[in-house]
Amino acid sequence: MINGHAKTVPEAIAELKDELKEFISTRVQMLHSEISEKLRALRLAAPTLLVGVLLLLTAWLVFTGFLVAIIAQAFAPSPWAYTLSFVLVAVLYVIVGGATAYIGWRGLRETGIKPERTIRVLKQDRVWLQTEAKTQL
C-alpha cells in the first residue's frame, strides 16, 4: 500500500514505463551534452592550433636547413658533404620522431576519447538498478 491505496498492475507498469523513459532521456541528454562540450572546445581550438602548427612547421624547415648547413661544413672539402649531412639529419629525425610518436600514442591510449563521465554514471545506474531489483524480489 502506498498513500493508503494499492496500485494496480497496469498502474505500476505505466509508472515504471514513465520512469524508464525519463531515465533514458536523462542519460541521452547527458551524453549529448558531454559530446557537445568536447566538440565546442575542439572547434574553438582548431584555428589556433592550425596557425601554431604552420608556424612550427616553417621553423622546423628553417632549423633543418641550418642543421644540414652546419653538418655540411664539418665535411666541407668533400663533394659528399651535403649528402652526408642530409642523411645524418634524417637519421636523427627518425630516432627522435619515432620515440616521440611512441610516447604520444601511449598517452592517447591511456586517456582515450570515450565519454568517461557518462559511462561512469551509467555503470552506477546499473548497480543501483540491480540492487533495486534484488530488494523488490
CA distances 103 to 59, 65, 94, 110, Å, are 23, 26, 14, 11
Residues 23, 125 contacting (CB under 8 angstroms):
yes
pLDDT tens digits for 103-137? 988 887 877 777 778 888 888 888 887 887 777 65
What region, left, alpha or beta, does residue 4 occupy, with left being phi > 0 and alpha being psi -120 to 50 degrees? left
What is the number of structural domains in the chain?
1
**Average pLDDT score over residue span 13-35:** 86
pLDDT tens digits for 40-91? 888 888 899 999 999 999 999 999 999 999 999 998 899 999 999 999 999 9
| Domain contains 69 | yes
pTM: 0.47
Residue labelled with grid coordinates 555503470:
123
| Domain contains 1 | no
| Domain contains 3 | no
pLDDT at 65: 96
| Domain contains 132 | yes
Range of the domain at 28: 9-136
Half-sphere exposure of 17 (CA within 13 A, CB side): 6
pLDDT at 73: 94
> How close are the terminal C-alpha atoms of the chain, in Å?
16
